[in-house]
Amino acid sequence: MRSAGFDVEVHSAQSFLEKEIYPGKSCLFLDVRMPGLTGLELQQELLRRNILIPIVFITALEEPTARIDAMQAGAVDFLLKPTDAESLFDAIDRALEQDTRRKKAQR
């Protein structure tokens, strides 16, 4: 992502919940299985806190129920590893566009 010109931060679920949310255009990449909170648990906690950052899941696990749960909770995309660059960048574009629209609507 950095080589494509994106600013990237890496966090555990807990450290992300403790940080100040970046006010600029952003999105979040989650895996289904992560140490501590799972990606789906973090997504639910963000929704509970009304933190509406667009989420793209990228995982090696083909879990149909996880995909359904993530998408029903508002995930922008649910990609399986390994994924191709085009699918990844399409998901990023959709997530950043969604974030831009939401932030404009809030102003």
- Phi and psi at 80, nearest 5°, equal -100, 135
| Whole-number pLDDT of residue 22 | 82
Q: 10 Å Cβ neighbour count for 54?
A: 23
Number of domains in the chain: 1
19 in any annotated domain: no
What pTM was computed for the model? 0.93
76 within 8 A of 54, measured Cβ to Cβ: yes
Domain-located, residue 62: yes
Based on its alpha-carbon atoms, the radius of gyration of the chain, rounded to whole angstroms, reads 13
Q: Which domain holds residue 100?
A: 27-106
69: domain CATH number?
3.40.50.2300
pLDDT digits (tens, 9 = 90+) for 29-48: 999 999 999 999 999 999 99
Residue 21's pLDDT band, with cuts at 50, 70 and 90, is: confident
